[in-house]
Amino acid sequence: MFSSRWRRGAITAIAATTSLATLAVGSAIADGADAGADTPERPTITVADGRTQAAFSYRDAVREHLMVQLDVDSDRDGKLDRAGVDVIRPRETDQGLKVPAIIESSPYNDTVGRGFESEKKAWDERGRPTTFPMHYDNYFVPRGYAVVQVDTTGTAKSDGCLTVGGDSDVAASKAAVDWLNGRARAYRADGSEARAHWSTGKAGMVGKSFDGMLANAVAGTGVDGLETIVPISAVSSWYDITRSRGAKHWEGFSHYLSTALDTDPDAKCQAVRDDLRAGEDDATGNYNAYWHERNHVAQPAPEVGRVKASVLVVHTLNDQNVRPNQFTHWWEGLKQQGVPRKLWLGQYGHTDGFDFPGRRDVWVDTLHRWFDHWLYGIQNGIMNEPRVDLQTGPTTWTTQSDWPARTSAVSLHPGADGSLGLLPARTGSQSFTDVKASEADLITDPTTAKPGRLAYVSQPLTGQARISGTPSVDVRLALDKPTSNLTALLVDYGTDERVDVLRNEPQNNLHDGVQLIDEESCHGESTTADDACYKKAVNVTAKHPVHVIARGSLDAQNHASASDPQPLTPGQGYQIRWQTLPNDYVLRPGHRIGLVLAGTPAEYLYFETATGARATVDLPASKITIPVAGAALTSADFATPTRDAAPWRGPSTAPRPPRPTFLR
């Protein structure tokens, strides 16, 4: 639906098989004129093999610090805020070269830093930027791009207060796009106005985590000139970061984050932070207007319908900071809107595609061709490739046409004997009590009765089965109190070598299934103050007899609505449905599928207090439905139990997952 829009101003003279081409990029591109026309008096970019080439000096690039005018007053001091913006662009842009911009917006630039190596911005004694975090400037500026790094309101050199995804945070990033297109003003330190005379008007945004959220949110404004975004492990709904249908993962989240990322005196933004704390409504965990403002792209926010930029998503399926439902809800919305898109989906925790072990060169080249295509119009074939790159094991990747894969819905039913099978139980009910228990305690010894959980396990699989998508839980139960936390865990009982996302040892450079080593790779050009070299990452794996495939929780009184809780009548039966987190996971032959029903997992619902409610589950009316790639599972896919077989007991130990921390 966007094909004619993307063709306007595109450089149509380039084919994917181009061996060497030189392109004039001046007013011709901006005006949509024939880019094949030669204008030798102007500097040009060079294209070979469908990629822009390093033709400009990084060392001699123009570096400038500016303040872009905003239309918000986030610190309530009676003056409109200005956002700190640092620009690096080829020196030839002062000689007529016009270039697109890659925008990075972040609240991390002068506090925790960015990337696994925690890089921070730096400026010289005259206020000019000398260090740009990450490798984007080192790599792309020599290839004919400007890199524009924006400080989120209330951080680094920007005015205002950080509102953790609020409208004022988004305003600073959107203003950078507007400035590149002549719709906003920017000023130098001496008060003179700085115009982006060098800009083609085309911009892309890239960033991880909070930074990726800003890319999502700005795309959700529909701003003209933002042609593409690359959100990496990005937030789309802050409510779903801190809550699961009323059940709390965090309390005081926005207050904590806004304080940690702002180096100004606390008094400056105290009133704003007090409002953030009140808006979160930790007392109930409900969805409200505060959270709706921070629901940028995921449904039911209206922003997804305004996205015009193409989207290259990177996410991981074991991320417990920015959980994978942050991308799946949004991915589906983009799909419904027909937005051009591509996905890299890894098995790690909260990790940038740049640090996926063994994939760094592939990632840099993918990003290069993506920006070349969407910001320069180079026809390099990237949109003709499979839409999805999917990690299937610690060292294996595949491609497919979309995500999730084509699946069959398979319902598994709990039985009174602890079984999990394809047929519903004929009769029976069982109970558990909402207590706070470690996840390890909930999933071990599944054949042993424990008061804080119910556990059900299938017979061994006779072949391999792949889950692709989002499992859903449908349980009929009665409580003896008005509400309870409810949790479902989908479990793989079987020993395998998996990416070890459970160990985080910053002192050993180990994070989320990867470990940084002393060997470096370099991507781009360097200066003394800003090098293009970063430590490589290697896989960290572990062999365990049990693994949680998917987790899903809610507060029972929010089962029908996240914003309008309805306490349950004690003793009355209710059909309660909820989703777990999504996954793409292969169950090996001989492994068993487990379902654990419980109340309050200590690591997953860290800030919740268990209600002590007793939940009685009606077994015939309860099930978990899993999306299985390909044909549905049948009875032939499970081993038939034999009378003389020794009773299966399951593992007695399991690794305990760490409580996730957001600031990484």
Give the H or E element holding residue 593: strand 592-598
Give residue 2's pLDDT band: very low, low, confident or very high (50, 70, 90): very low
Q: Is the separation of the CB atoms in 239 and 562 below 8 Å?
A: yes
Which of 69, 100, 103, 110 has the alpha carbon at shortest distance from 86?
103
Residue 194 backbone zone (phi > 0: left; psi -120 to 50: alpha; other: beta): beta
Q: State yes or no: is 319 an active-site residue.
A: yes
Distances (CA, A) of 80 to 67, 159, 175, 563, 624: 12, 9, 13, 33, 52
Average pLDDT for 596-617? 97
Residue by residue, DSSP assigns 24-56 as E-SHHHHHT--TTS--TTS-EEEEETTEE---S
Angle at 386 between CA 384 and CA 387, to 5 degrees: 100
Describe the crossing of helices 167-180 and 210-219 by its angle, rounded to 10 degrees: 70
Q: Output the pLDDT for position 27.
A: 36
Query: Coil, strand or helix: which one is 273?
Result: helix
8 Å CB contact between 646 and 455: no
- Structure-token pair, residue 377: 């119009």
Q: Which of 65, 350, 413, 559 is catalytic?
A: 350
Contact 217, 298 (CB under 8 A): no
What is the dihedral sign for C-alpha 596, 599, 605, 606?
Answer: negative
Q: What is the dihedral sign for C-alpha 516, 517, 518, 521?
A: negative
Find tokens 């591109």 and name the residue: 29
Which of 353, 376, 349, 350 has the alpha carbon at shortest distance from 365?
A: 353
CA distance 487 to 485: 7
Backbone angles phi, psi at 357, to 5 degrees: -55, 135
- Average pLDDT of 235-264? 94
User: Taking 50 as the threshold, does the pLDDT of residue 53 lie above it?
Assistant: yes
Q: Is 649 exposed, middle or buried (0-12, 13-18, 19+ CB in 10 A)?
A: exposed
Instruction: Examine the pLDDT at 20 and tell me if it is beyond 60.
Output: no
pLDDT of 39 > 70? The answer is: no
Query: Which residues sit opposite 412 in a β-bridge?
Result: 624
Q: Are the C-beta atoms of residues 219 and 307 closer than 8 Å to each other?
A: yes
C-beta neighbour count of 423 within 10 angstroms: 11
Per-residue confidence at 17, pLDDT binned at 50, 70, 90? very low
Query: Which candidate, 431, 426, 418, places its Cα nearest to that of 621?
Result: 426
pLDDT grade, residue 641 (50/70/90)? confident
Sign for the CA dihedral angle at 259, 263, 264, 265 comes to: positive
DSSP at 490:
E
Please calculate the CA angle 359-363-369 and round it to the nearest 5 degrees.
150
Give the Cα separation of 187 and 179 in Å (integer): 11
Which residues, other chains included, contact 563 with Cβ-Cβ below 8 Å and sequence gap of 6+?
286, 287, 288
In angstroms, rounded to a whole number, what is the distance separating the alpha carbons of residues 316 and 629?
19
141-156, pLDDT tens digit by residue?
Answer: 999 999 999 999 999 9
pLDDT average, residue stretch 641-656: 88
pLDDT of residue 664: 58
What confidence tens digit (pLDDT) does each residue in 441-454 have? Answer: 999 999 999 999 99
Residues 6 or more apart in contact with residue 549 via CB below 8 angstroms: 467, 471, 490, 491, 492, 583, 585
CA distance 475 to 411: 12
In percent, how much of the chain has pLDDT > 70?
93
pLDDT(36) > 80: no
Q: Which position among 159, 319, 352, 512 bears the catalytic label?
A: 319
Q: pTM for this one?
A: 0.93
Question: Does the pLDDT value for residue 22 go beyond 90?
Answer: no
The DSSP element (H or E) to which 592 belongs, if any, is: strand 592-598
Q: Which residues contact 270 (CB under 8 A, 6 or more apart)?
A: none
Give me the amino acid identity at 123.
W
Q: Is 559 a catalytic residue?
A: no
Mean pLDDT along residues 176-204: 98
296 or 294, greater pLDDT: 294
pLDDT at 455 over 90: yes
- Rounded to an integer, the average pLDDT of 466-482 is 98
Query: Quick check: 570 pLDDT over 70?
Result: yes
Catalytic residue among 105, 106, 168, 209: 209
Active site residue 350: yes
Give the pLDDT score at 133.
96
pLDDT at res. 40: 57
Whether the Cβ atoms of residue 457 and residue 466 lie closer than 8 Å to each other? no
pLDDT for the residue 177: 98
- Taking only the tens place, the pLDDT of each residue in 218-228 is 999 999 999 99
Name the band, by pLDDT with cuts 50, 70 and 90, for residue 52: very high
Sign of CA pseudo-dihedral 446, 450, 453, 456: positive
> 360-405: per-residue pLDDT in tens?
999 999 999 999 999 999 999 999 999 999 999 999 999 999 999 9
Res. 526: pLDDT tops 80: yes
Compute the distance between CA of residue 390 and CA of residue 403 in angstroms, rounded to an integer.
Answer: 9
